[in-house]
Structure 1
């Protein structure tokens, strides 16, 4: 009679093993058959034109990254409350910056370049615009360039130079002076 219990146990063990092996296969098969396609064009024609002019206007001083999520470069201050942090994340939800300029040596964020679409009926920088509010709160320079079939390289270079200056980073109330100095932790890999 005891052998019958062993037989039931073995059957249950085999059934559980079969279920464990069968479940991941079904999920994997669904993932393989999910319909999707590649978007071959990353930029709209206006964004592509602005990217080409911006690249020649900034020279070798900055790197350009495109379509970066706001939540990738902005975060709440450490001492902020949950409600305020939630409001910040809600205002950043789904928001992408057209172009992010970064300093070449350390790839720190230098500023934001936004393409202002025509036909929206809004001014270039309204104070209640979420992008303006986010950039102002972070102390991040924002350059809005109206969509156009032609961009003046010299004018864009001037705007970038006027708005983005390499200054020390300041943190509100974190230290006595509020200034953060860059530090090198290891000199072994540096070549002089």
Structure 2
């Protein structure tokens, strides 16, 4: 026991003497998650989607699609492994429950996106829309392409407020403070 304590003290003394921090050494900040062009496109997407969804960038594919339940364990792990290191540039999720609504494929002519990911999304029922930032689409044009896939926060039953479910016409301003979802806006 004495030898272990002595070894630990010597190790700590050497580390402090060498100037290495006690935590994980050898790391540095990576910088911006998105490049300048991707940031500009993200702002366009966010404006086009508005309050009907949330735009997420650089999303792990396994956060959007998973292998089906009930597969043999080894097969499931292999299928998951094919997803593990892949990502989507942009995913638009439901504003209320966070479920993925649509995946944005930003592949240009040289890289048309990942065919495996497109097939996985199709099998899982997650639509994929190709929007090339180099095409110079306006916010209105992006919104028009995404319109069929966007739902407002009231379109999901778990997000409908009781007064809306009963179809009771009320003055929204009177309920703005009491309704957790806020006033109805259309």
TM-score (norm 1): 0.65
Map 1:57-96 → 2, pairs under 5 A: 57-96=48-87
Shift of 1:24: 7.9
Give the aligned partner of residue 137 of structure 1: 123
Distance in 2 of aligned mates of 1:60 and 1:39: 30
Shift of 1:70: 1.1
The 1:149–1:81 alpha-carbon spacing in structure 2 relative to 1, beyond 3 Å, is same
The 1:144–1:22 alpha-carbon spacing in structure 2 relative to 1, beyond 3 Å, is farther
Shift of 1:46: 2.9
The 1:138–1:33 alpha-carbon spacing in structure 2 relative to 1, beyond 3 Å, is closer
Distance in 1 of aligned mates of 2:147 and 2:120: 21
Question: 1:76–1:85: 8 Å Cα contact kept in structure 2?
Answer: yes
The 1:23–1:108 alpha-carbon spacing in structure 2 relative to 1, beyond 3 Å, is farther
Distance in 2 of aligned mates of 1:25 and 1:112: 52
| 2:41 alignment partner, one of 29, 42, 50 | 50
Q: CA RMSD in A?
A: 3.3
Shift of 1:66: 0.9
Give the aligned partner of residue 26 of structure 2: 35
Give the aligned partner of residue 8 of structure 1: none
| 2:92 alignment partner, one of 96, 101, 116 | 101
The 1:22–1:68 alpha-carbon spacing in structure 2 relative to 1, beyond 3 Å, is farther
When Rg is computed on C-alpha atoms for both structures, the one with the higher figure is 1
Question: 1:66–1:100: 8 Å Cα contact kept in structure 2?
Answer: yes
Q: For structure 1, which runs of at least 5 residues remain unmatched after alignment?
A: 1-12, 169-180, 184-190
The 1:113–1:20 alpha-carbon spacing in structure 2 relative to 1, beyond 3 Å, is same
The 1:133–1:27 alpha-carbon spacing in structure 2 relative to 1, beyond 3 Å, is farther
Shift of 1:35: 3.1
Q: For structure 2, which runs of at least 5 residues remain unmatched after alignment?
A: 160-177, 180-186
TM-score (norm 2): 0.67
Question: 1:118–1:146: 8 Å Cα contact kept in structure 2?
Answer: no
